[in-house]
Amino acid sequence: MQRVALIGTGAFASTHVEALHAAGERVRLVAAVNTDVARGQAFCQQHGIPACYADTATMLHAEQPDLVHICTPPGTHAALSMQCLAAGAHVLCEKPLCASLAEFDRLLAAEAASGRTLSTVFQWRFGAAAQFVQRLLHTGEVGRPLLATCHTLWYREMDYYAVPWRGQWAASLGGTTMGHGIHLMDLLLWLLGDWQEVQAIMRTFEHPIEVENVSLALVTFASGAVGSIANSAVSPRQETHLRLDCQQATLEVKALYRYDTSDWAFTLPGDVPITGWRIPQDQPGTLTAQVAALLDSLEAGQPPLVSGWEARRVLEFITGLYQAARTGSVVRRADLTPDNPFYHSLTGQPV
């Protein structure tokens, strides 16, 4: 049984509590932290969490949790993850995990030194249908993927940016690419494997914010497949759509913030739907599914699926996308080394 603490008790924290409740006897939620004390206390009372703290150091010292869920604003994630690993806790941190590849690599070193695991939330990998498609692509049953379309088209009005950390580079670590599209791009990269080069543009439309609310990218994969990516927070009809055109079938999911197996469609040439595949219906792509898989890994002494290189891949891709958009050049994966300013900062500016 894992003793769990939650840091950050804002809008998304109740989804973490829900996922922990679904894990039943495997976990006990022992404490929560919020620097906004009144908000923290109200949350603990609402969810029956026995101890509430105003700072992480005091909580770690008093509770010595086995696992910490970090659900604070993005700009705080890396330092809090370091602090929890150093205190001997496993960490599940909300996305985005950190501000740069350099910071990611420092986190990996801290993880290795701690003997604990650091993983980040990418719940779209954990639905039964995504896992089925991953195995299908691995076995080559529908041939090679040739073309990918990866669209996260959402809509955010100005009140969304009223929260103190949203819309600014330092606190949110990026715009709609880093904050929204990251989930579907992570799924795309997990399914199609290494990317090779990217071209991109980005824009900030309508709102007085520092970060982009549209990005478009063209990507080439090491396998030779190509893809088009659109991330948007200005799309009135919202949709999250991943489509993989393989040699023998189209595999796709259309949903918004989460999917069920019924949101996936599989089609043969001639527009013939594939109906014979038996995919469990009762495992949607949610945080609950990811937390269950994380607990399986911890109990088995195995690294979680979204850790190490698997957690780094989408950050590396987003770094390439931002560099391509800012410089107007094609960025190769091989360019993202420590002598590149974008390795150290997603804006390419000194930190």
Ligand X SMILES: NC(=O)c1ccc[n+]([C@@H]2O[C@H](COP(=O)([O-])OP(=O)(O)OC[C@H]3O[C@@H](n4cnc5c(N)ncnc54)[C@H](O)[C@@H]3O)[C@@H](O)[C@H]2O)c1
With respect to ligand X, which residue has the nearer C-beta, 27 or 70?
A: 70
**DSSP class of residue 307?**
B
**DSSP class of residue 161?**
G
Helix (H) or strand (E) holding 332: strand 331-332
Give the span between the Cα atoms of 329 and 218, in whole angstroms: 12
Site membership for ligand X, residue 41 (CB under 6 A): no
Q: What are phi and psi of 121, to 5 degrees?
A: -85, 115
Site membership for ligand X, residue 69 (CB under 6 A): no
Site membership for ligand X, residue 118 (CB under 6 A): no
Give the span between the Cα atoms of 323 and 319, in whole angstroms: 6
Which of 4, 17, 121, 324 is the binder for ligand X (CB under 6 A)? 121
With respect to ligand X, which residue has the nearer C-beta, 49 or 246?
A: 49
Residues ≥6 apart with Cβ < 8 Å to 132: 277, 279
With respect to ligand X, which residue has the nearer C-beta, 9 or 114?
A: 9
Site membership for ligand X, residue 95 (CB under 6 A): yes
Please list every residue from 149 through 188 that binds ligand X, using CB under 6 A.
163, 179
Which amino acid, 141?
A: E
**DSSP class of residue 248?**
S
Separate counts of helices (H) and strands (E) for the chain: 12, 15
Which of 3, 10, 28, 230 is the binder for ligand X (CB under 6 A)? 10
Give the span between the Cα atoms of 43 and 232, in whole angstroms: 32
Q: Site mask, ligand X, residues 216-255, x = CB under 6 A?
A: ----------------------------------------
Which of 33, 44, 209, 311 is the binder for ligand X (CB under 6 A)? 33
With respect to ligand X, which residue has the nearer C-beta, 162 or 334?
A: 162
Query: Shortest Cβ distance from residue 121 to ligand X (Å)?
Result: 4
Contact set with ligand X (CB under 6 A): 7-13, 33-36, 39, 56, 71-74, 76, 94-95, 121, 123, 163, 179
